[in-house]
Structure 1
Amino acid sequence: MTQYLYLVRHGEQLDAEHGVTDGPLSPRGRRQAALLAERLGGVPLTNAWHAPSTVATQTADIVRERLPSVDPKPSALLFDCVPSGPTPEVPRAFSGWFASATDAEIEAGRAQMADAFAEFLSPGGQERHDLLITHNLVIAEFIRHAFDAPAWRWLGLTQAHCGLTVLKARTGRPITLVSHNDLAHLPVELRTGLVEPLPV
């Protein structure tokens, strides 16, 4: 059978630009989450999970408030992480990215994502529509995994806050990327979290 996996980056965090690693949603982030919930209103969601971080939990709470049939549960497999480490194949432009990541953090991230694939990408039985509210690098690694790309290729994949990425998994077939970073539910002024601003 078919599984649809809806991957969402949390809403914008308050004061993230000041180096705060986790915190509450900004007012703009709350609006992003509300519009995401409206977008998901027509999806027959089967299950929902969120990273236990404050910003992902608050995003999930707003989705729950507006979609009472959806009850997102926390999962440590969705915490932000570094999915792999530097190798000779990593382009020089990305090499500095690993400067602040320790070997232990990289190994923990690699193990976490292997468990996340086993837990959340599991087609079979009845058709499923599962929602994951998580972090930028986790979504990037799911996409890299879907294409069986080189281990470093999550680098360069950036998701906007409350952007919607959809994977389609079917038993015995390659995973399909249905959409990536879909922002149709967000007006331009709410499209945050990208490396470069989108043209108006």
Structure 2
Amino acid sequence: MTHYLYLVRHGEHLDAEHGLEDGPLSPRGRRQAELLADRLSGVPLTSVWHSPLERAAETARAVSERLPSVTPQPSALLFDCLPTGMTPDTPVVYEPFFGSHTEAEEEAGRAQMGDAVVEFMGRKSGAHELLITHNFVIGWFVREALDAPQWRWLTLHQAHCGLTVLAQRGGRPWTLVSHNDMAHLPVELRTGLTELPPV
């Protein structure tokens, strides 16, 4: 039996370009979520989890409207967070980014993602779980699956409602099946990718 994790960054939220940290989905974000649901319609999902932040919760609701067999559940382990601070092998080009965050934020994020990996990557096989969360969180899960250096989550960006799939069969190592797949999104709905790590 294989355990699948379908990792999705929330849809675009309203007024994100004005610096608001959270909010409801924009009309474009709503359409992204609907197309994601269509894409997942043939997947035998066993559970849907989402970050408690409004943009992720609303994305989950939009998906569940089209996939009524699953009921989304919030998980604090999927909150937006900073998985690490600067590590000895982190390229110095990232120092300005980390300079805007506190050690307390980094410690909290590190603890959260440690628990999230145990919770979602340590389950028994046979599950098909959809996790609707945030860019950094998905980057950390992918980094974990690839056993990459800790700082590499910084280089693993996701578009709004892009689809990343991880799989593990019978105790074998996790496999990255796809990363940031946007085939279900027309070009005008492929938003969220920037040169700096987006949240």
Does the alignment reach a TM-score above 0.5?
A: yes
Instruction: Quote the Cα distance in structure 1 between the aligned partners of 2:170 and 2:136.
Output: 26
Identity %: 69
Q: Aligned residue for 1:13?
A: 13
**Which stretches of structure 1, 4 residues or more, deviate above 2 A after TM superposition?**
122-125
Query: What is the correspondence of 1:35-184 to structure 2 with a 5 Å cutoff?
Result: 35-124=35-124, 127-184=126-183
Please name the residue that 2:33 is paired with. Answer: 33
Question: Is the Cα–Cα contact under 8 Å of residues 123 and 170 in structure 1 kept in the other structure?
Answer: no
Q: Once the 2 structures are TM-superposed, how far is the Cα of residue 9 of structure 1 from its aligned partner? A: 0.2
Structure 1 alignment gaps of length 5 or more: none
| CA-to-aligned-CA distance 1:141-171 (integer Å, 9 cap, x gap) | 0001111111111011110000000000234
CA RMSD of aligned residues (A): 1.1
- Total equivalences in the alignment: 195
Q: Within 2, Cα distance between the matches of 1:49 and 1:73? A: 5
Preserved CA contact (<8 Å) 1:83 1:106: yes
Contact 1:183/1:191 (<8 A) preserved: yes
SS of corresponding position for 2:114: helix
When structure 1 is superposed on structure 2, of 84-93 and 22-31 the one drifting more is 84-93
Q: Distance in 2 between the 1:11 and 1:135 partners?
A: 10
Q: Deviation of residue 123 (structure 1)?
A: 4.3
- The worse-fitting range, judged by mean Cα deviation, of 33-42 and 114-123 is 114-123
Deviations 1:101-141 (A, max 9, x none): 1111101000000110111112435x111000000000000
Could you tell me which residue of structure 2 aligns to residue 189 of structure 1? Answer: 188
Q: Residue 48 of structure 2: SS of its match in structure 1?
A: strand
The residue identity in structure 1 corresponding to 2:42 is: G
Give the letter for the 1:158 counterpart.
Answer: H
| CA–CA separation in structure 2 for the residues paired with 1:25 and 1:48 | 18
CA contact (8 A) 1:13 1:25 kept: yes
Cα contact 1:124–1:170 (8 A) shared by 2: no
Distance 2:33 2:124 in 1: 30
Give, in whole Å, the separation in 2 of the partners of 1:22 and 1:189. 22
- Output one character per residue of 1:36-66: Cα deviation in whole Å (capped at 9) or x when no partner: 0000100000111000000001000101111
